[in-house]
């Protein structure tokens, strides 16, 4: 007999995403646009968690709200959780302890793995939406052993990307955002000649990863690469248990 076991409310969407409460538009590539993914995801909005509170203030003040929303996603069938802001690395330990499933709060968690891919003469560089408030504490919470070894460059504080997203505007000029990202990447490369790979802190930066790759020639890692990797562990590809017939072309 072949039994099917239940225990969930929703099936087929195992990755849950904890969202900040925002109103700005989200294009393909943004974690907040469900069309970004080649697989279903589930969302929960954490009410009161604005970009400004999470990026410029202390997200630990909201950790109980994130835990509550995370538990709701788990109850709805999610087997793993991520978030839509790299600054939420600060709540990684608390969230993982409380929700009962694996948690990957921040793209910054990729830094140690990416560094291990590089020769000892190269370093991982980070592009962030707020250079002034991305601290060593965020990197330590993400598992980075020595934050002082990670160069960080932010998009311009008065530019379209930072101003419109942190200000939660209803309208965004995405071509100007693209230029902000290109300018930040060029600055990172000019100031740090030993960069071997780039990690994008902000989840809203993913739509510009291809542009950054093109102008720098370097591998670019984002929350999207993290989410794709994470999801593969929750829904592994299935392969037929047979050898290919060498007689077939």
Strand partners, 220: 198
What H or E segment, with its residue span, contains residue 138?
helix 136-141
Please give the pLDDT value at position 248.
64
Question: Which pTM value belongs to this model?
Answer: 0.93
What do you get for the CA distance between the two ends of the chain, in Å? 37
pLDDT at 138 (0 to 100): 98
Q: Given this model, what pLDDT does residue 176 score? A: 98
- Closest to 211 (Cα-Cα) out of 173, 185, 172, 174: 185
Q: What does the pLDDT read at residue 144?
A: 98
The per-residue pLDDT for 1 is: 52
What's the average pLDDT block by block, 10 residues per block, for the chain (249 residues)?
73 94 97 96 97 95 97 97 97 97 98 98 98 97 97 97 97 98 98 98 98 98 98 94 68
**What domains, with CATH codes, occur in the chain?**
15-106+228-234 (3.40.50.1860), 107-222 (3.40.50.1860)
Which strands, in side-by-side order, build the sheet including 220-221?
Answer: 152-154, 123-128, 195-200, 220-221
Distance CA(96)–CA(30), nearest Å, equals: 24
So what's the pLDDT on residue 2?
67
């Amino acid at each position: 007999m072949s039994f099917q076991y239940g225990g969930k409310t929703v099936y087929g969407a195992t990755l849950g995403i904890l969202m900040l409460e925002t109103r700005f538009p989200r294009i393909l590539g943004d974690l907040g646009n469900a069309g970004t993914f080649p697989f279903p995801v589930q969302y929960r909005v954490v009410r009161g968690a604005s970009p400004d509170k999470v990026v410029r203030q202390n997200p630990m003040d909201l950790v109980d709200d994130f835990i509550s929303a995370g538990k709701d996603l788990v109850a709805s069938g999610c087997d793993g959780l991520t978030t839509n802001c790299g600054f939420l690395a600060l709540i990684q330990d608390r969230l993982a302890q409380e929700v009962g499933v694996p948690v990957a709060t921040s793209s910054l968690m990729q830094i140690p793995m990416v560094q291990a891919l590089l020769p000892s003469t190269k370093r991982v560089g980070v592009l962030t939406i707020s250079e002034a408030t991305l601290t060593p504490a965020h990197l330590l919470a993400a598992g980075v052993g020595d934050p002082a070894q990670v160069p960080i460059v932010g998009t311009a504080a008065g530019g379209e990307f930072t101003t419109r997203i942190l200000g939660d505007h209803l309208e965004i000029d995405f071509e100007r955002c693209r230029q902000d990202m290109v300018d930040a990447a060029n600055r990172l490369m000019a100031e740090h000649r030993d960069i071997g790979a780039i990690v994008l802190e902000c989840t809203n930066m993913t739509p510009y990863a291809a542009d950054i790759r093109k102008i720098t020639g370097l591998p670019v890692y984002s929350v999207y690469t993290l989410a794709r990797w994470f999801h593969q562990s929750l829904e592994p590809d299935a392969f037929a248990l047979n050898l290919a017939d060498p007689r077939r072309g």
